[in-house]
Structure 1
């Protein structure tokens, strides 16, 4: 009797052709405004899902779930249309409700491991693309349900990367929901204890999702700049000075594996995104003044997505090659320099601390040498004027001693500068009244550029 009910719901309700007069041209409509047949279809999908959740293990639940999964995936992949082509009779609002309900049913079935195993990697990533649906009610409704299940830890973490696809959502609610969710997750003790480094290692799944995105083009520079926004959004929420080395390590490890699910023309996509992520990490570390030490451990990419490369020649060739176009890095450097300085300028490489300190010591030594030489010449000139009681003291060998400088007095005076006196403040008592402060006139000569340095 149970099998008869399932057959009836699938063939006589869900697959029933709707009458043409019930079509709605709007993209979305409230549930009570939908026709009766569409409401019955939505209820039938929920009944089929709930029935599978209650099937015991002895009844072979995987076999019973296959036709239901086929129906749900068909609704998701065909945007809610069960009759594609010339027979398409489902209205836009009805299709939006059908694909949203089907996606929610798949998430609900994923709460049980026996049903989650029925979904392949490709199907999970196609389901995640619903976050970018053209209808706001569909994408936000699916995102809300996805975040709720992830918050309760009811579904596997392979569904998590889809939340970072909201970066281009025109509505602010989606990005705000993801930001709040990620920040709360990172602060939870259970995430820090049981799932340590979960979000750092998640960069591998996110890049794999982007590599198989239908809009990704590795040879299009404009597309690469758009996809860099996804990675930057992830870094904004996850990357810190303490975990950036782990994220960088996971990204570099992607060039030691091969994509298991990629077709021949998509093999290099993951390497392009790996080089892009490495460049963006270095860019972020430079802008935030973070250090980027080598990660001491070893973290391998997910085995359900990648296979390890065993050929040493192929490993060496992939590691040495930069898959990122030069135009991307040049335009990126110009854009970042313009945003930081206010005008377009290609950023210069940062000089290392050692080179800077050595150069500073050389400059200091040179300046000190010039200063000593000038002082010696000056003292020699004063020695010809004869000894003076105040400034013309001589040493035991008869050479003029260096004058002691007092605060506020110039180092060298010339006859020309004496003709144009300048006014400087006389050192006063710290708490002296303002009216009792005096000034005095002293003569300065103009310092040369070398002396100013």
Structure 2
């Protein structure tokens, strides 16, 4: 209970005082049964706006003290109640919105007079309802509302149908028990969307079936079996939706579909689709094409790569060694620059799409601990180099995906080291974006450690300074760094190191400058675990350490203090330190 009270207090103005007030409010609720029942009604999903207004006034009246004109405790409670009470949105409001949208569908609304086409009005109305379905799901639960949404599902506008499915997915948990008529109409529509709808509709339809029906296994099997039997690589434009549905089905119900999916992956996805080039791409030299110009075959291959990842994320284990073979395939895709068959039939822009898909897939698998463990340093480096891709859009989209996963703490810390390579990006905006990403990620990690005392046990994966050894190792294996004595190459290495270290060294938190220096010095007592007996590889590693030490020494007078603790180096990248024998 104390933890919950602290979480509430943290989200109120002046969290220090709020802590005491929240504790007091909890005590009052424990003693006053009538007050407690008013609050229970207020937070109940069925509470209407009118009822909420009565509850808030009643609670405030009970806590008011006539002898105390200024009552900070009451002000805090009022603030809290205003945050949780339904002020505008309840079942009545949703019903009114749906009726307005129905008028647009029937053509009886005044949309044209408002300067809006009926199609735009319907689409905008549904988008608003979709947003509200995330925050007020129970307010949608009525036959009338769902009848209107079924009508939207039958419309030709793809975006309208997609939004309607999403609303069913978010709000339809009681349809099965309370509204059997809606259920029997909805199921065949969802099946049809999963088999022949747009890719977005297919994804939402599969997730909707999984979220709101108890017999989901039967439902999903009725979609999986016909789709898996009818896959045909010769008609790639008809492959996209089935691949999306199959991938999401195997991710949501791995116990049922992981095994049958294995033969689909081996015989069709890899052998038939990814390892063959059926069409010849346009040789116009362009590195990127708009979505509508990408060939159906390449779009199908991109979806095939996503399917592999979803299948593995569903299984969450590597007992069958499927993840190893998938990672080898993705690495081969990156080594061949996107032309896996190396027949030179594929266009430059299509190769860019496939490199992006392969790099993003490795990054997605790294978010699952059982797969992160088996990603080799070489595979990590191939993934990292996508951020230096020759195609601007590949660099841009990959950096956005990387940032999004890091900021949610979904990716291991070594993936933050990839941003150091952005120092070499020829476009100023990309370098500026990468710097902003680093600032945000570092502050989020530091804040997380402060807010979560238990996080100290996971410092190796959270403390931003621990990115330094990963960065040093990554830069030592940069393919552009070939000669340890080359001045231009060393200048590039220095730029990459400073790109990261500048952000890390803005503050000297807990003597962090000395800690980072100690890490670089300790690496020089180890060897490169990737190739421990290769003198050239170790020489490059030590050279990067020397450059890092130069940068740290030149930028901070505080780095010569004693390090607060002895850093731990990741064993995947460095051997055990060799003991230094000191003679008296």
Q: Does 1:15 align with 2:281?
A: no
Contact 2:435 2:499 (C-alpha < 8 Å) held by counterparts: no
Return closer, same or farther for 1:68/1:201 CA change in 2, 3 Å cut-off.
closer
Q: Does 1:304 align with 2:560?
A: no
The separation in 2 between residues aligned to 1:100 and 1:62, in whole angstroms, is 26
Query: What is the DSSP-based 3-state SS (H/G/I as helix, E as strand, rest coil) of the residue aligned with 1:308?
Result: coil
Return closer, same or farther for 1:20/1:250 CA change in 2, 3 Å cut-off.
same
Q: Which has the higher contact order (CA 8 A, sep 6+)?
A: 1
CA-to-aligned-CA distance 1:22-74 (integer Å, 9 cap, x gap): 455311101210122111111211122212222265xx555232332222111
The separation in 2 between residues aligned to 1:56 and 1:149, in whole angstroms, is 18
Q: 2:502 aligns with which of 236, 240, 248?
A: 236
The corresponding residue for 1:345 is none
The separation in 1 between residues aligned to 2:500 and 2:552, in whole angstroms, is 11
CA-to-aligned-CA distance 1:138-162 (integer Å, 9 cap, x gap): 1111111111111111121122200
Measured after TM superposition, the shift of residue 300 of structure 1 is 2.9
The separation in 1 between residues aligned to 2:495 and 2:365, in whole angstroms, is 32
Q: Does 1:266 align with 2:542?
A: no
Measured after TM superposition, the shift of residue 229 of structure 1 is 0.7
The separation in 1 between residues aligned to 2:472 and 2:280, in whole angstroms, is 43
The corresponding residue for 1:365 is none
Deviates more, 1:47-56 or 1:154-163: 47-56
* Structural mapping, 1:345-360, within 5 Å: none
Return closer, same or farther for 1:4/1:62 CA change in 2, 3 Å cut-off.
closer
The separation in 2 between residues aligned to 1:56 and 1:108, in whole angstroms, is 12
The separation in 1 between residues aligned to 2:443 and 2:579, in whole angstroms, is 42
The separation in 2 between residues aligned to 1:186 and 1:19, in whole angstroms, is 46
TM-score (normalizing by structure 1)? 0.63
Query: What is the DSSP-based 3-state SS (H/G/I as helix, E as strand, rest coil) of the residue aligned with 1:51?
Result: helix
Q: Does 1:294 align with 2:562?
A: yes
Query: What is the DSSP-based 3-state SS (H/G/I as helix, E as strand, rest coil) of the residue aligned with 2:435?
Result: helix
The separation in 2 between residues aligned to 1:241 and 1:70, in whole angstroms, is 41
Query: What is the DSSP-based 3-state SS (H/G/I as helix, E as strand, rest coil) of the residue aligned with 1:229?
Result: helix
CA-to-aligned-CA distance 1:303-351 (integer Å, 9 cap, x gap): 22112343647x99xxxxxxxxxxxxxxxxxxxxxxxxxxxxxxxxxxx
* Structural mapping, 1:147-158, within 5 Å: 147-158=403-414
* Structural mapping, 1:58-97, within 5 Å: 61-84=319-342, 87-97=343-353
Q: Does 1:283 align with 2:554?
A: yes
Return closer, same or farther for 1:179/1:218 CA change in 2, 3 Å cut-off.
same
Contact 1:132 1:169 (C-alpha < 8 Å) held by counterparts: yes
The corresponding residue for 1:180 is 436
Q: 2:471 aligns with which of 198, 206, 227?
A: 206
Contact 1:62 1:114 (C-alpha < 8 Å) held by counterparts: no
Structure 2, unaligned stretches of length 5 or more? 1-259
Return closer, same or farther for 1:229/1:10 CA change in 2, 3 Å cut-off.
same
The corresponding residue for 2:384 is 128
The separation in 1 between residues aligned to 2:489 and 2:475, in whole angstroms, is 11
Q: 2:486 aligns with which of 220, 239, 243?
A: 220
Return closer, same or farther for 1:124/1:191 CA change in 2, 3 Å cut-off.
farther
Structure 1, unaligned stretches of length 5 or more? 317-453
Return closer, same or farther for 1:294/1:94 CA change in 2, 3 Å cut-off.
same
The separation in 2 between residues aligned to 1:18 and 1:92, in whole angstroms, is 16
Q: Does 1:52 align with 2:318?
A: no
Deviates more, 1:292-301 or 1:226-235: 292-301
The separation in 1 between residues aligned to 2:429 and 2:373, in whole angstroms, is 32
Q: Does 1:34 align with 2:294?
A: yes
Contact 1:104 1:142 (C-alpha < 8 Å) held by counterparts: yes
Return closer, same or farther for 1:8/1:218 CA change in 2, 3 Å cut-off.
same
Q: What stretches of structure 1 move > 3 A for 4+ residues in a row?
A: 21-24, 309-313
Measured after TM superposition, the shift of residue 185 of structure 1 is 2.7
Q: Which has the higher helix share?
A: 2
Measured after TM superposition, the shift of residue 75 of structure 1 is 0.9
Deviates more, 1:252-261 or 1:129-138: 252-261
Query: What is the DSSP-based 3-state SS (H/G/I as helix, E as strand, rest coil) of the residue aligned with 2:286?
Result: coil
Contact 2:338 2:352 (C-alpha < 8 Å) held by counterparts: yes
Query: What is the DSSP-based 3-state SS (H/G/I as helix, E as strand, rest coil) of the residue aligned with 1:259?
Result: coil
The separation in 2 between residues aligned to 1:83 and 1:200, in whole angstroms, is 41
The corresponding residue for 2:520 is 251
The separation in 2 between residues aligned to 1:69 and 1:140, in whole angstroms, is 23
The corresponding residue for 1:101 is 357
Contact 2:305 2:357 (C-alpha < 8 Å) held by counterparts: yes
Contact 2:419 2:500 (C-alpha < 8 Å) held by counterparts: no
Give the root-mean-square deviation of aligned CA atoms.
Answer: 2.3
